[in-house]
Structure 1
Amino acid sequence: MNQEVTIEQLFSVFDESAVLLGRALSIAYLEALGETAENLFHGYVMQEELNDMDEKRLQKLYDNVKLDCYSKESIRKSYQLAILKGMKEHVQPNHQMTPDSIGIFISYLIRKSNGNKRTFTLLDPAIGTGNLVMTVLNEFDEMVEAHGVDLDDVLLKLAYAGANMLHHPITLHNQDALERLLIDPVDVVVCDLPIGYYPNDVGAAKYRLKADNGHSYAHHLFIEQSLNHIKPGGQLFFIIPNNLFESVEAKKLQSFLTEEAYIEGVIQLPESLFKNKQAAKSILMMRKKALGVKKPKEVLLASMPSLTDKKAIANIMQKIDRWFSVQQKG
């Protein structure tokens, strides 16, 4: 079956059943989507408060879908489309979903960085709906033990239901990621950094990157918290605003990173992936300092062209491959 047709069919089931559930239970589309994804995973209607007619209509939709017959990518993409529909209704700016192409590219960077390492642990301290992590996990399949943190229980329920449908082992924590985390240090951190101010000044006070005056930048604190929860020599892949090192707190951030980590690369993402030039982002690739870990011979600086320009993409990928080859020979 054509993958596009498969994705469209699955999306239709997610969408129809979420609309039906939302109306029956008087809940928002995104909440209903999390509920219907759980139903699909189990294969039956779990909401006991539904009337017989609604339950039968839902069950008929579910009976037409056997998740085991679909690829993990088809499931993830169709579920993502439904989440995107729900996000258009009401969601905060920080809750934008990370584009697939970025997740696939970060997976490539992790694979190149890890060398022959077969298994690893991963943390996303701002997991949201889980699309970034699920994209990475689909690329590595069963090699990764993952953890995710988010304060928003609706987004976390969507991540939970998505992980179940894709059979990915992931532990989810419903809490403020900048409070104390009961998570052992991991090998890899990936995070689409939440941009803005952290309102909890008392909580921010324990961080070295706290602001001297007023509220601290949440994205700076997330970087510090990530370095607190990664093993020595572990790698971090942050999706950052292009102006990260131009803010009033940038000097403090640069000084902190110089002490704690090696910046291995900054890769500017295509502007076409974002709403406008001001919203454009880059990938910051770092490694936590440790005995035996060497500073890179040079920092990888690259600017990704439009994803439709295949020749330019091939040239950039060759440049990145050469950079990794030089580092690994050293």
Structure 2
Amino acid sequence: MNSTPVEELFTVFNETAMIIQEELACTYLEALAETGENIFHGSILQEELSELTVKRLRKNYETIQMENYSKEEIRKSIQLAILKGMNELIQPNHQMTPDAIGLLIGYLVDKFVQKNEFRLLDPAVGTGNLLTTVINQQQNKMVEATGIDIDDILIKLSYVNANLQQHPIQFFNQDSLESLFIEKADVVVSDLPVGYYPNDLRASEYEMKADQGHTFAHHLFIEQSVRHVKEGGYLFFIVPNGLFESEQASKLHEYIKKYTNIQGFLQLPQSIFKNEKAAKSIFILQKKGEGVKPPKQVLLVHLPSLSKTVEVEKILNKIDIWFKENK
């Protein structure tokens, strides 16, 4: 049976990661980052491996030629391997953005951003899957990107992911809510980490800080993103459906009204998520600035199940019509 290019690549990532994992007694995700580095550099970088293991790895690596695969094939095969590794280590902050959502955000960024060259930021980059999905969707555009994440394993996977897909992305391994020394972006995309931010001292430097107790991290991420995007720049956030229903929602409302124009709110299909509580939406903002006008009307969409092609087509037509009338 013939396997697809994605399956071929996944097999090599998976088998070599398992070989490294066994010999170095590390996690699968750590081993995956190591094997990704080997493939990128075209040599085996782990000096502590036995001769037999080095031979086994070489034999596997020789079965593939990276230049024969498209960026999307590389991204999808790494994504499959990362998902396998995450199933072993279920941590709530290690959830990967579903592909369908990444592709939709990539499509929206392509529609909204009319520049041929732009700078993209993801302040909660994780494994880089959302960021590289969006970049791969930008047809004939030059995109330079920045990704930030506090988790050192995830940022290493991001870096390997970007290298293998040959994307110019700068990565910073830090708490994104601390001071960022980065150039302002034209566009922000982010699957916002939801929950409370434990560092009250740091949170006190934000306009959205809670009057008492911890502040919501996802609110602070929105504020930090608005600070680091240019005037007129766009922000695409994946947010919980109940974003405006919490006890801290009034502060969020005030902040958004003061600094941005809401462009759109697209409720994602329930079928993508485990349960109603986990359901999310895409929230689109534009930072205010000179000559930046709000849309005549906000784009409000309730997306059908993405397997219903005819209904999805209707929604995409509705988005096209909205663009003609508002942009």
Q: TM-score range by the shorter chain?
A: over 0.9
Whether 1:300 and 2:299 are equivalent positions in the alignment is: yes
- State the SS of the aligned residue for 2:137: helix
Cα distance between partner residues in 2 of 1:156 and 1:139: 22
Which residue does the alignment assign to 2:276? 277
- Paired residues of 1:118 and 1:143 also in contact (CA < 8 A): yes
Give the drift of 1:208.
0.6
Cα distance between partner residues in 2 of 1:91 and 1:52: 34
- State the SS of the aligned residue for 1:302: strand
Which residue does the alignment assign to 1:151? 150
Cα distance between partner residues in 2 of 1:38 and 1:139: 25
Cα distance between partner residues in 1 of 2:288 and 2:201: 28
Comparing 133-142 with 27-36, which one deviates more in the overlay?
Answer: 133-142
- Paired residues of 2:94 and 2:126 also in contact (CA < 8 A): yes
Correspondences of 1:46-61 after superposition (within 5 Å): 46-61=45-60
Cα distance between partner residues in 2 of 1:114 and 1:153: 31
Give the drift of 1:289.
0.2
Give unmatched runs, 5+ long, in structure 2: none
Which residue does the alignment assign to 2:263? 264
Cα distance between partner residues in 2 of 1:327 and 1:289: 16
- Paired residues of 1:44 and 1:62 also in contact (CA < 8 A): no
TM-align CA RMSD:
1.2
TM-score w.r.t. the length of structure 1 is 0.97
Identity %: 56
Which residue does the alignment assign to 1:40? 39
Correspondences of 1:211-222 after superposition (within 5 Å): 211-222=210-221
- State the SS of the aligned residue for 2:254: helix
Q: Deviations over 1:191-234 (max 9, x none)?
A: 00000010001111100111111111000000000001000110
Cα distance between partner residues in 2 of 1:114 and 1:136: 12
Which residue does the alignment assign to 1:204? 203
Give the drift of 1:61.
0.5
Give unmatched runs, 5+ long, in structure 1: none
- Paired residues of 2:110 and 2:137 also in contact (CA < 8 A): no
Which residue does the alignment assign to 2:63? 64
Correspondences of 1:142-291 after superposition (within 5 Å): 143-291=142-290
Whether 1:140 and 2:138 are equivalent positions in the alignment is: yes
Q: Which runs of 4+ in 1 moved over 6 A?
A: none
Cα distance between partner residues in 1 of 2:184 and 2:42: 36
Cα distance between partner residues in 2 of 1:185 and 1:73: 27
